[in-house]
Amino acid sequence: MKAVRRYKLRLERKRFLVRAWRKARELMLVADRTDDIRPSDVLCFVTLRNERIRLPFFLNYYRERGVSHFIFVDNDSTDGTREYLAAQGDCSVWMSQGSYKRSRFGMDWINALLRQFGHGHWCIIVDPDEFLVYPFCDTRPIPALTDWLAASSIKSFGAMLLDMYPKGPITSQPYSEGQNPFDIACWFDSGNYIIDRNWDYGNLWIQGGPRARLFFDKNPERAPALNKIPLVKWDKSFSFASSTHMLLPRGLNLVFDEWGGEKASGVLMHAKFLDTFTTKAREELQRKQHYANSHEYKAYHSGLNEDPNLWCKWSERYINWRQLEILGLMSKGNWA
Amino acid sequence: MSVGFVMMCHTALDRAAQVARHWAERDCPVVIHVDKRVPKPSFDGLREAVKDLHNIRFSGRHKCEWGTWSLVRASQTGAEVMLAEFPEVRHVFLASGSCLPLRPVEELRAYLAARPRTDFIESVTTEDVEWTVDGLHSERFQLRFPFSWKRHRWLFDRYVELQRNVGFKRKIPDKLVPHLGSQWWCLTRQTLSAILQDPSRKTYDKFFQRVWIPDESYYQTLVRKYSTRIESRSLTLSKFDFQGKPHVFYDDHLHLLRRSDCFVARKIWAKADRLYDTFLNEQDRGTVMSEPAPGKIDRVFAKALERRTRGRAGMYMHSRFPNPDWENGKSCAPYSVFQGFNDLFENFEPWLSRRLGTRVHGNLFDPLRARFAGDGDVYSGCLSASAELRDYNPERFLTSLIWNTRGERQVFQFSPRDIQRIAWFMASDGNAQISVITGAWAVPLFTANKDFQSIRKQAAHLQKQEVDFVDVLRRVQTRADVRIWSLAEFVEEPMEHLQSILDAMGGPSVARLTEAPRLVDLTGFGQFLQNLKNQGMNPHVMGDFPVEIVEMQAKSGGARPYLVR
């Protein structure tokens, strides 16, 4: 039985790879600088749509932390995102006019590009509103982390998605280009996360945070998943199974310790809830291109109309990674 | 010129060149061994980088693999070059390409000059070693290891098993007592040459070629044969983690390293510019003769090890999710659960809150919503009072609450009317203090203004819930601190019992309160139970509840009969 299940997962992985290959035909090259990639480079893979205003800060954030090359898939942006990225010296850009939903929310495109360019590299796979915080990120660059992971024979690094939000209505403090989004959205929920094991794929399933607290308090099983594995030493046989929540082969999903200890992990700070969000939610609701029939966006839409304030008096204000470590949202593991 | 360095390099050759230059320029000869697997261009680059220095030599190259004899062979070759080419060297210091000197060479030189005949090498008998990761101590010397541990782990393990099963043991050459220790040493010319020029070296080498990880035992064992003075510690600061791989130092370790007063540290991250810049350009601070004191660094790494292997109790997160019974503590702090008390006493929660000087929750597992202290919608850590969210995963709800309120003891009410799924979790948690008055759930029914048929039905249901709960609490595997009274038992001496619970909570003693909680008036309760019986139900969990008790309660006249001291 175990062998059968293992074989099923193997087939599933192969299926994802074929899918990726098939969906890769939707990709059109905009700017190719992949020849500049050196063997030891850390790469960053992103799918995005209409995120122009976030890009300067996003690129700088990861550049400063030692990412050497960015690979973007632009899903038909109309706000100059593509042109801006194509002009950056360390970005390679593809575009696709295909359906976001039917490419498994961009994962097919990313899987294809990962297979082509990510093999043998440490790859960060994030959205433009996700910012990786890892132990010692204030003093050590990402290559220090990846060197250590490699020396420890670790291939994947987990990070929980931490929803950040401002105090007061989210439209009251507009975000301007280049600004640190966490100057505005600097609050988070520190201890209301629900964790369970997903035995099929061997990963943890985490839900909770302000979205569960406010939008899914009556149907928590539909609350968005917060478990993420954004940093992986990629091999061309790997494939993301569902967003960056889980991978195949499933051994890569074991980013947690089962015997009482703590593995090193980070946090993916999520700058979703800025003033840009309300327009985005409205648009996504019309495009119907998001997960589970955009259920999430429907919930936000009604939620945000009634009370757009995610803040409560128990909200925690972000200081630094050490604070997140003390709160038990991430861990240094045995990295010291 | 009293100390020379043998450097073993295989990566980050630019850093190795930098360190070699540092030593050579300060008049310490350096012999560099470069792994044969390093490609020629890199090797030539290193040669080029130090070619202006007359006191650097390159030794013959060997292909090095971790855990094998090749590493000893390489160090032998290097040491031989050192002894032959630099006759004035008195101490030979074995270092790696990722080592970094933390103190000026003059200090090391003075330190060694003051101990001219001492060999610094960690050398511990196999019986006393506890740091080996693979669990092989004396077996390292007695078994054969033809398979690579890194590349053919499965074969390695099976072959070890096989040899254990058939009782295979190699013969250890005479006069050798196996010792283990850090592979980074600093030996005197006398000792080192004695080892290298021993007439029976061939025999020993042949033996050690088949020993597992010989670089941690070759010199460590042979030094016992010749040395007159062994200082069993390494001058190189080198810490290993639980996988047996060296901890790496980064820029932010600067102050820690400086205060350690160790001479050389490994291993340094190759891109730790600040460390290299600082320590390689350190000005002579006048000869300070302090002893190396790696204690503080030891503590940092010991903590890291503890975190990785045991973790923080009661914390569940995305890199720590223990299997059942591997939690090292299901919750992070002690908490108290009261069942039946708020049914029996009027305003029990406010009273208890005043008595303990802490917030007291209502029924956290109430079917409608979690009754947090203050009855808010959200509590510490943004924990929601939503019943759906809580019941989605009650165990995480409870552990989150305890974790979020570290430093403040959590106290809450429980009842047969509540969602019962959490029962076994609490019972199996050593941090839980659970006090139960069985049958107290009947008191609100007794005072309720309801149709007796529905009361009877509800009573049967609640009694069943409570019996199940008490059964759980009485299991052998229960680890909670459990107190159970029947209602009849409890009302005989309510304050004594209450006091025993509070005493067991420990903690800082609270100022004495002169106020007692008020018992619900139980006049007629015996009759109420009798009515239930008459309707065909068997209310047994209250204990024996004769009418007299109720009368006694009434006589003692009521308002505040008992004080809790």
pLDDT in tens, B264-312: 998 899 999 999 999 998 765 655 667 888 888 888 888 998 999 999 9
Count of A–B CB contacts within 8 Å? 179
Q: Tokens 């002894």, residue?
A: B83
- Structure tokens belonging to residue B62: 């060997």
pLDDT in tens, B6-60: 999 998 899 999 999 999 999 999 999 999 999 999 999 999 999 999 999 999 9
Partner B contacted by A195 (CB < 8 A): yes
Q: Which residues of A touch B244 (CB under 8 A)?
A: none
Partner A contacted by B120 (CB < 8 A): no
Q: How far is B13 from chain A (nearest CA, A)?
A: 16
- B118: closest CA among B270, B230, B196, B211? B230
Number of Cβ within 10 Å of residue B155's Cβ equals 13
Q: Identify whether the C-beta of residue B463 lies closer than 8 Å to the C-beta of residue B512.
A: no
- Pairing mode of beta strands B91-96, B264-266: unpaired
Q: Which residues of A68-102 are buried (b: 16+ CB within 10 A; e: fewer)?
A: bbbbbbbbebeeebbebbbebebbbbbbbebebee
Out of A189, A331, A335, whose CB is closest to B320? Answer: A331
Which CATH number does B335-555 carry?
A: 3.40.50
Rounded CA-CA distance B470/B560 in Å is 30
Q: Tokens 């299940």, residue?
A: A5
Domain boundaries, chain A: 2-326
Architecture of the domain defined by B3-136+174-283: Alpha-Beta Complex (3.90)
Domain boundaries, chain B: 3-136+174-283, 335-555
Reading chain B (565 residues) residue by residue, the pLDDT tens digits are 589 999 999 988 999 999 999 999 999 999 999 999 999 999 999 999 999 999 999 999 999 888 889 999 999 999 999 999 999 999 999 999 999 999 989 889 999 999 999 999 998 887 776 666 566 677 888 888 888 777 888 888 898 889 888 888 888 887 788 888 888 999 999 999 999 998 889 999 999 988 888 888 899 999 998 888 999 888 888 888 777 788 899 999 999 998 888 899 988 999 999 999 999 987 656 556 678 888 888 888 889 989 999 999 999 999 999 998 888 889 999 999 999 999 999 999 999 998 888 899 999 999 999 999 999 999 999 999 999 999 999 999 999 999 999 999 999 999 999 999 999 999 999 999 999 999 999 999 998 888 888 999 999 999 999 999 999 999 999 999 999 999 999 988 888 888 888 888 875 555 555 677 888 888 888 888 888 888 888 888 988 877 554 444 444 444 444 444 4
The C-alpha angle with vertex A235 and arms to A230 and A236, in degrees rounded to 5, equals: 115
Element containing residue A9 per DSSP (H, E): helix A2-23
Rounded CA-CA distance A177/A56 in Å is 7
Instruction: Decide if B271 and A143 are in contact by the 8 Å CB cutoff.
Output: yes
- B23: closest CA among B83, B113, B97? B97
In this prediction, does ipTM exceed 0.90? yes
Rounded CA-CA distance B501/B46 in Å is 73
Q: Which residues of A307-332 are buried (b: 16+ CB within 10 A; e: fewer)?
A: ebebbbebbbebeebeebbebbbbbb
Q: Which residues of B534-549 are buried (b: 16+ CB within 10 A; e: fewer)?
A: eeebebebbbebeeeb
Q: Which residue of B has its CA nearest to A257?
A: B320
Q: Identify whether the C-beta of residue B434 lies closer than 8 Å to the C-beta of residue B482.
A: yes
Partner B contacted by A191 (CB < 8 A): yes
Number of Cβ within 10 Å of residue A254's Cβ equals 17
Q: Which residues of B touch A216 (CB under 8 A)?
A: 389
pTM over 0.80: yes
Q: How far is B58 from chain A (nearest CA, A)?
A: 28
Out of A206, A210, A259, whose CB is closest to B318? Answer: A206
Instruction: Decide if A331 and B271 are in contact by the 8 Å CB cutoff.
Output: no
Could you check whether the bond before residue A135 is cis, i.e. omega within 30 degrees of 0?
Answer: no
Q: Identify whether the C-beta of residue A296 lies closer than 8 Å to the C-beta of residue B282.
A: no
**Distance, first Cα to last Cα, chain B:** 78
Q: Identify whether the C-beta of residue B291 lies closer than 8 Å to the C-beta of residue B260.
A: no
Beta bridge partners of B339: B414, B436
Number of Cβ within 10 Å of residue B168's Cβ equals 11
Q: Which residues of A touch B248 (CB under 8 A)?
A: 147-148, 151
